[in-house]
Amino acid sequence: MKQFLSFVKKEFFHIFRDTRTMMIILGIPVIQMLLFGFAITTEVRNVQVAVFDPSKDISTERIINQLDASQYFHVVKMLNNPDEINAVFKENHNINLVVVFDEKFNENLLHTGEASIQLIADATDPNQATTLSGYATSIINSYQQELLQEYKIPIRIKPEMKMLYNPQIKSAYNFVPGVMGLIFMLICAMMTSISIVREKETGTMEILLASPMKPIYIIVAKAIPYFAISIINLTTILLLSIYILKVPVSGNFYSLIGISLLFIMVALSLGILISTIAETQVAAMLVSGMGMILPVMILSGMIFPIESMPVVLQWISDIIPAKWYISAVRKLMIQGLGITSVYKELAVLLGMGVFLITVSLKNFKTRLN
């Protein structure tokens, strides 16, 4: 029994001495619980709303106030004419819903007993658009009940839904950009993450280090074949999206190709950085695969709206490259916007690529231990 306990004690000492193992064992469950608890939610909150109100009467004012007072909506812009409705979605990409009132809304309501409100939602994410329309309709119906109790006459407010960019509410319009980001992030990072580690494990790293090639050339040489393979993946994904899933490229096709190639370079750079840090191929695969899939799926806006998450998680999502790529693809592919609409995403991805390559060069060991 003493011998058995001594072996158990020795194993505890081994685990406690390995700081990385302790961080993984104790840290990952905490991170996963926080992510699943706060980030994964079907609720939509703090959605920015624009309003076009030509009547400006007491009823429209009360409805606007009730929308703004709810936990779901935040009225940020009042439109002056109907021509601004389409423009506001293109210029302010944080606005997901526009509420349009009838002219003489209150007068029509009290004299004819009926008035209509048009709810125009950005349906690039059809689930979110449907949820937003449902929340807004519920608030409008609540106000309608208040009027029925107040005036004791039949009154009906008729919400009319319009889904912008995706009138058929096809789910493919939402998941195609997200899946593109997920595939490139995981496949490219995993492919390159094992490249340098494999050289270490097979003992061929000495040959590379003895060659006259500089570290930057070794890293670029490692990335070029995987970049070529990723271009084939990009071509396949776009063909499947357009001809099988029937998701059109509404914007500039070459802009979509350009930002996709930039994102592929960022993903490859991340994989190379992982390969300069990891000591074994298994460790590299675990970090690039298991370590990437949760942040990309949860914090990139692929499935769950980022604006509904706590502020801290919104800040963390900014360092996820897939978030910026998915946002750009939705603008170019679904909304049909031009390259000028994704300058911010381009700048962020370019900066991330430069940073990752620079850090990879710093971590690249020119001497073996």
List 161's β-bridge partners, or say none.
119
Among 247-256, 285-294, 316-325, 332-341, where is mean pLDDT lowest? 285-294
Write out pLDDT tens, residues 160-215: 888 888 777 777 777 788 888 888 887 888 778 777 777 767 666 656 656 666 76
Of 108 and 257, the structure prediction assigns the larger pLDDT to 257
What pLDDT does 324 receive?
93
What pLDDT does 243 receive?
86
Parallel, antiparallel, or unpaired for β 114-122 and 95-101? Answer: antiparallel
What pLDDT does 144 receive?
86
Average pLDDT of span 297-303: 81
What pLDDT does 116 receive?
87
Distance separating alpha carbons of residues 368 and 228, to the nearest angstrom? 30
326 by DSSP, 3-state: which?
A: helix
On the 0-12 / 13-18 / 19+ scale of CB atoms within 10 A, 63 is buried
Distance separating alpha carbons of residues 304 and 278, to the nearest angstrom? 31
What pLDDT does 260 receive?
93
Of 354 and 34, the structure prediction assigns the larger pLDDT to 354
Per cent of the chain over pLDDT 70 is: 81
Whole-number mean pLDDT of the chain?
Answer: 80
Distance separating alpha carbons of residues 295 and 298, to the nearest angstrom? 5
**Given pLDDT bands bounded at 50, 70 and 90, which one contains residue 39?**
low
Report which of 180, 194, 191, 198 is spatially closest to residue 296, judged by C-alpha positions: 180
Write out pLDDT tens, residues 284-298: 777 777 667 778 888
Of 149 and 291, the structure prediction assigns the larger pLDDT to 149
**Given pLDDT bands bounded at 50, 70 and 90, which one contains residue 368?**
very low
CATH 3.90.1480.20, applies to 47-164: no
Does the pTM of the predicted model rise above 0.85?
no
What pLDDT does 35 receive?
59
**For the chain, what's the residue count?**
369
Q: List the alpha helices (DSSP H) in 118-252.
A: 126-151, 172-202, 205-210, 215-239
Tokens 């300058």 appear where? 343
Of 195 and 74, the structure prediction assigns the larger pLDDT to 74
Q: Is residue 22's pLDDT more than 70?
A: no
Write out pLDDT tens, residues 201-252: 766 665 665 666 676 777 777 778 888 888 888 888 888 888 888 888 888 8
Domain definitions of the chain by residue range: 47-164, 172-363
Report which of 323, 178, 301 is spatially closest to residue 245, judged by C-alpha positions: 178
Question: How many C-beta atoms surround the C-beta of residue 73 within 10 A?
Answer: 24
Q: Is residue 263's pLDDT more than 90?
A: yes
What pLDDT does 359 receive?
87
Report which of 368, 359, 352, 321 is spatially closest to residue 216, judged by C-alpha positions: 359
Q: Is residue 366's pLDDT more than 60?
A: no
What pLDDT does 187 receive?
80
Which contiguous run of DSSP H or E holds residue 125?
A: none
Highest-pLDDT range among 89-93, 203-207, 209-213, 266-270: 266-270
What pLDDT does 166 receive?
78
Distance separating alpha carbons of residues 25 and 117, to the nearest angstrom? 54
